[in-house]
Structure 1
Amino acid sequence: METKLNQEIRAVLVKFDDKYFVDGIVNKSKVIRDLDSYDADLVKELLSNDELKKRFTMEIAGATVIKVNDLIDVFEQDEYWQDSYTKYSKKIGLTVNGRFLDESSEVVLDFPYKDTVLKASMSKEDSGKDDLKPDEPFLNEIIAQDEIDTLFDKKILVNAKRYTKEGVGEAAAFDEDNLIIKGNNLLALHTLKEKYSDKVKLIYLDPPYNTGSDGFNYNDRFNHASWLTFMKNRLEIARDLLSEDGTIWINFDDNENGYINVLLDQIFNESNYIANVIWNHTKQSKNDERFFSRHYNHLIVYAKDKNLLPNFQADRTEKDNKAYKNPDNDPKGLWRSGDVRSPNLRKTLKYTIEAPNGTIIQPPEKGWRWAKETVEEKMSTGEIVFKKDYSGIVRKIYLADQEGRTPENLWYGEDSGTTRDANGEIKKIFGTNVFSTPKPEKLLNKLITIASKENDIVLDFFMGSATTQAVAMKMNRRFIGIEQMDYINTVSVTRLQKVIEGEQGGISTDVNWQGGGSFVYAELMEKNTGFIKEIVNAKNMTDLQAIFKQMMETADFDFRVDLEELQSEDLWQQSIDDQKRILIKVIDKNQLYYNYSEIDDKNVRDLISDSDYEFNKSFYADRGE
């Protein structure tokens, strides 16, 4: 039985003839899409209906505002449209504050305390300290929508250096160089957007797994909502940077694997899902596990547009060629037999073949793989031959025609490395294990081979120990790396310097690496980020008072802060932990770094070297691309 509301909505929809109906049934998916995009014709007709106008509009300052989300909710309820034509009956997905992620314009930014060097528990080693326990109250902040444009605006880059085999020097210009950026990776990605949109062929990520127990040097104790928002913010801008025929590969364990798949479906579209590759990263059983000894990670692979993606090809090995023989001395060389049967039942492909001796060869149960004309053509070229006893046909697949092979989705340590291999590679370079969760060079070599070609750009914005960049350099790919942690200068950059010098670890022997190459290093120019770091590192109230004095002179405060009250004596009556929390809380988080738009302001220009100034002008130059 139709409700009054149902009847009124249907009365509006029928005015559009068959636009919103399929065989007389409401196509509510189409209605929802048009409501979501504020289709002018549909909104006009809805407002002309008195009943709907009363229920789904409100008056604000003399203007009529349609409550489109309430209308959409109606169409997502089965009790209103019980037999409606739709691909789903109720929408299921990730929500923030009761709204689906793909419908929300809000961006919740947890990163000031989640992914920069701002507080204790940024690394595993800090989590046990008493001075700043990981339960401090300044974990989550929502940045207002009108501030986001400022926050995401491109940043000034400073301390630019070029690393080559000859050494390190100033970089006053930038031209298609490999690039390493130190700073918050979300803001660094937006800094790259204008220059690198649609240009990155391959993105590999090894993000925090949200376990709370591994050695990853980021805060690795997010709750699900915060962690998903953290990833959502970064994956959305990552998609913009990816080329139309590019792919993204994300390394995970089981902890968030299901959640990240749903999120990736929303951002990249479920139709662009490629594979879940299982990487067997360890051989030794872990007896300290309670239920199962876990021996694998996931590599989740999505394309930006799968329809534009070429077929993946992995390198061939001697093992792959083992089946190729030449028993009949075929002049085309080694070959193996291929399947001539259809994988699916096709009645049109069930025909007989007559052999030269008159024998009639019956079709396989599901039919032949090709039409009769195609089989006859392949016989004329020698690709298909008859068996010696004429009992069937054989398809020849020649080794000479095989440039690579289709990769499998189960990777073993023999050809993709193990965690132990990765630790050994780091120890060989530095003499000790300076990084707790590296990935082996063989792993990156395998996926870079599959998903890119020479001179393609490879991006990793959870750079870590720089395995991705090291392998990319050895494989003649261009690369971009982003890392916020201070070990970028003691581990990541140092490793790449050694690669340039010709270090022989990892895949060096396999690819005949002799050294060479170059990269440019630069840092996002800190603004309020510097104050936050100083506050966290302050030893006592005297230090904090000196920092506060500087803040009053140059810092940007949240617009909601009452500065007179902040300067009262009450602040210094608190415990030092609370003093730190308050001072960090009042800082404007959308002014963590200087925006490029400020570079010619006198008070900013004086802080930048002439070389860095020229570098920025070169980096952001419009080259007519």
Structure 2
Amino acid sequence: MENLLDNLKALLKKDERLVSEGELLRNKIIGLALKLDKDLIKLLLSDNKMKEVFFVDIDGTLIFDKDKFIKFVSNKQFLPDSYTAFKNKIGLVDEKGEFISEKKDVVLSWPYKDCVLEGGMTKEDQKRDEIFWNEILAPDEISRLLDPKVFTNAKRIDKDGEHKFDGFRTDEKGDIKDNLIIKGNNLLVLHSLKKRFAGKVKLIYIDPPYNPDNPRNTFTYNNSFKHSTWLTFMKNRLEVAKLLLKDDGVLQIAIDENEQARLGVLIDELFHGYEKHCITIVHNPRGVQGTNFSYTNEFVYFVFKKGLKVIHKIKRDTPLVEEFRDHGGESLRSDAKNCFYPVLVKDNKIVGFGEVPSDDFHPKGKNVKREDGTIEVWPIDVKGIERKWVFARQSIDEIKDKLFVKSKDNGEIDIFRIKDEKIPRTVWFGSRYDASTHGSKIVNKIIEGKTVSFPKSLYAVYDCIYSVVKTDKEAIILDFFAGSGTTAHAVMMLNNEDSGNRKFILVEQLDEHVEVATQRIKNEIEKFGKGDFVYLELLKWNEKFVDEIKRAETKEELKKLWEQMKEKAFLSYKVDVKTIDEHAKDFEDLSIEDQKRFLYECLDKNHLYVNYSEIDDEEYGVSEEDKKLNRGFYGKYHG
């Protein structure tokens, strides 16, 4: 066994892809094996012993036994660095010698498909590979993670500042009619929201992590399944988000080229019986230089049930003015008789519309003056040919406010219309979508020293929202990757334009993002002189220790934290406190990053936050004020 291990290590080190700073990369090896990488297989075949152990001869053809190879590489005796050696000593491996946290029942395309990716965010500007700390949780490791959580630290914020929470505003049906900003893990918040908002959200707009191929990538985890973990992360959240949508609701997901194709496949799998449209938005006309191309665009998926007419016209940058009379190829009266009727004009203003006449009726000209001075303007051209208006008589109410009268020098009257809206096309471009001008510059002015990476153009988000909720002035709009609060800003802007009462729900976890979004919305409330929102947080339990672990700067701090965790935290069933304490010296010898990593793994992820079902448990010390808050939120919906 030892000779085989040593020989395999020596052989694998010949492949530069598998080595970093002189050490073999276990997960890179496993990843290439799963992909049946031809260079890895050639390397193994070059050694007779490896050929004998990891290949099966079937009628003269050698078949690579990747499962056997992966199991061998995953064995606790393979590459036992200080951290894995420590885990071996304290027993965090199963009876087969495999690490409990590493699941082997995977498939090539999507190994974590049936798991939950718990994604707790840390500071975005932290100089490390991950801005999420995560754990892939198999179904048998989840008991209470997704139960509704307790909310805390509620306050109402309006133009006059913060106020003590005074209860939720509800309508006659008991539905909450407040704008909400909720701080916490968005997966857990979504599962809490479904108790009150299932089937009530008109629009979900999200701008999730894009999973770029660079050192600051959100999803460069300690495994070789970068795309798979991202898909799992998205799948977990989209499954519950789907439950929140109304029957005529729309899901919009912003994304770039890194995951656009895979996201499309995921949508197809999760949203059977739905339409999926991919819109291109030119958000950076200057371009971001790639290896071969300069990228100027990103995408937004629009997803809604098939057969629905849910997308409205959006506003034009520059309105067009054109004749109301049809000049197209089929512009005769006979082409659409319901489009032939008089527009009634008096004192150079439109005062009404006549009815469609019978087929045998023919006006006595283009402009016919009635006894009361009203002029009937008919769609007749200069040659006297009866043509038609662009809109039918039964549809005129939709655009009548866009029509106006224009008199010619000869005294004749024509009808013109202002075209300030257009059917959304699949490519959106123009200065209004520039994410620098209408995104970064807006956000960077909010709080000095506080920034949010790559905020969306306010008008790109506005147009996405407008296209869905233009006529629904009571709509609920949800954004569970809230960032700098652009979605809320766009909702407020639309409400201010048409006196709407649309409500937003924002979910965000990063402290700096919450601070920027909250201040941004307060600024808009002050600007418009009206409006308010309710701020809430999830009540932390094990998550408090996560925060402390992140903030720790010395091993001594982590040592004290471990003592506190033993007393107050919910530890994983895999943890044997006695055995860990017996190997305290080994723990001290780990790097501070590995110590943090280990303490994270010791925490039971089912107890990150306090569950609503345990709100009366004295151990959690939930205040009477918070109990009232939560009973107001969940009410009869809890169950």
TM-score calculated relative to the size of structure 1: 0.66
Show the counterpart of 1:142. Answer: 137
CA 1:446–1:139 in structure 2 vs 1: closer, same or farther (change >3 Å)? closer
State the shift of 1:115 in Å. Answer: 3.7
Cα distance per residue 1:529-554 (max 9 Å; x no partner): 11122123222222112111111111
- After TM superposition, list the pairs within 5 Å mapping 1:588-599 onto structure 2: 588-599=604-615
Is the 8 Å Cα contact of residues 215 and 436 (structure 1) preserved in structure 2? no
Q: In structure 1, give the amino acid aligned to 2:164.
A: E
CA 1:378–1:459 in structure 2 vs 1: closer, same or farther (change >3 Å)? farther
State the shift of 1:413 in Å. Answer: 2.8
* 2-structure distance, mates of 1:545, 1:212: 36
Q: In structure 2, give the amino acid aligned to 1:292.
A: F
Q: Secondary structure at the match of 1:273?
A: strand
Is the 8 Å Cα contact of residues 282 and 419 (structure 1) preserved in structure 2? yes
Larger strand percent: 2
Tell me, yes or no, if structure 1 residue 491 matches structure 2 residue 516. Answer: yes
Is the 8 Å Cα contact of residues 185 and 462 (structure 1) preserved in structure 2? yes
Q: Secondary structure at the match of 2:445?
A: helix
Q: In structure 2, give the amino acid aligned to 1:565.
A: T
Cα distance per residue 1:22-53 (max 9 Å; x no partner): xxxxxxxxxxxxxxxxxxxxxxxxxxxxxxxx
For structure 1, the residue ranges without an aligned partner over 5 or more in a row are 1-95, 128-132, 326-333, 342-349, 354-374, 503-513
Tell me, yes or no, if structure 1 residue 340 matches structure 2 residue 330. Answer: yes
* 2-structure distance, mates of 1:424, 1:214: 25
- After TM superposition, list the pairs within 5 Å mapping 1:88-237 onto structure 2: 97-98=106-107, 107-111=114-118, 114-117=119-122, 123-127=124-128, 140-145=135-140, 147-148=141-142, 150-175=144-169, 176-213=177-214, 223-237=226-240
2:589 to 574, 580, 583: 574
Q: CA RMSD in A?
A: 3.6
State the shift of 1:457 in Å. Answer: 0.5
2:428 to 386, 407, 411: 411
Cα distance per residue 1:297-323 (max 9 Å; x no partner): 1111101x2334435222366534x22
CA 1:540–1:414 in structure 2 vs 1: closer, same or farther (change >3 Å)? closer
Q: Secondary structure at the match of 1:246?
A: strand
Cα distance per residue 1:488-510 (max 9 Å; x no partner): 443111111111111xxxxxxxx
* 1-structure distance, mates of 2:220, 2:281: 22
Tell me, yes or no, if structure 1 residue 451 matches structure 2 residue 441. Answer: no
CA 1:528–1:447 in structure 2 vs 1: closer, same or farther (change >3 Å)? same
Show the counterpart of 2:291. Answer: 290
CA 1:582–1:293 in structure 2 vs 1: closer, same or farther (change >3 Å)? same
* 1-structure distance, mates of 2:287, 2:637: 55
CA 1:277–1:100 in structure 2 vs 1: closer, same or farther (change >3 Å)? same
* 1-structure distance, mates of 2:573, 2:444: 49
Show the counterpart of 1:302. Answer: 303
CA 1:109–1:379 in structure 2 vs 1: closer, same or farther (change >3 Å)? farther
* 2-structure distance, mates of 1:457, 1:297: 25
Greater shift in the superposed pair: 587-596 or 409-418: 409-418
Show the counterpart of 1:562. Answer: 576
Q: Secondary structure at the match of 1:259?
A: helix
Is the 8 Å Cα contact of residues 115 and 138 (structure 2) preserved in structure 1? yes
State the shift of 1:439 in Å. Answer: 1.1
CA 1:397–1:545 in structure 2 vs 1: closer, same or farther (change >3 Å)? same
Show the counterpart of 2:489. Answer: 470
Task: Tell me the matched-pair count.
Answer: 460
2:627 to 613, 616, 620: 613
Tell me, yes or no, if structure 1 residue 242 matches structure 2 residue 245. Answer: yes
For structure 2, the residue ranges without an aligned partner over 5 or more in a row are 1-104, 170-176, 338-355, 364-376, 400-420, 496-501
CA 1:109–1:381 in structure 2 vs 1: closer, same or farther (change >3 Å)? farther
Is the 8 Å Cα contact of residues 277 and 298 (structure 1) preserved in structure 2? yes
State the shift of 1:520 in Å. Answer: 0.7
* 2-structure distance, mates of 1:148, 1:308: 37
* 2-structure distance, mates of 1:405, 1:381: 34
Is the 8 Å Cα contact of residues 527 and 592 (structure 1) preserved in structure 2? yes
Greater shift in the superposed pair: 275-284 or 167-176: 167-176
Is the 8 Å Cα contact of residues 450 and 512 (structure 2) preserved in structure 1? no
CA 1:427–1:377 in structure 2 vs 1: closer, same or farther (change >3 Å)? farther
Is the 8 Å Cα contact of residues 314 and 405 (structure 1) preserved in structure 2? yes
State the shift of 1:601 in Å. Answer: 0.7
State the shift of 1:170 in Å. Answer: 2.2
State the shift of 1:381 in Å. Answer: 10
State the shift of 1:559 in Å. Answer: 1.2
Q: In structure 1, give the amino acid aligned to 2:207.
A: D
Is the 8 Å Cα contact of residues 246 and 309 (structure 1) preserved in structure 2? no
Is the 8 Å Cα contact of residues 282 and 420 (structure 1) preserved in structure 2? no
State the shift of 1:239 in Å. Answer: 0.6
* 2-structure distance, mates of 1:215, 1:99: 25
* 2-structure distance, mates of 1:207, 1:107: 20
Show the counterpart of 1:368. Answer: none
* 2-structure distance, mates of 1:424, 1:100: 40
Q: In structure 1, give the amino acid aligned to 2:307.
A: N
State the shift of 1:262 in Å. Answer: 0.5
* 1-structure distance, mates of 2:285, 2:202: 32
Cα distance per residue 1:57-112 (max 9 Å; x no partner): xxxxxxxxxxxxxxxxxxxxxxxxxxxxxxxxxxxxxxx934998xx99732232x
Tell me, yes or no, if structure 1 residue 420 matches structure 2 residue 423. Answer: no
Show the counterpart of 2:341. Answer: none
Identity %: 31
* 2-structure distance, mates of 1:97, 1:390: 76
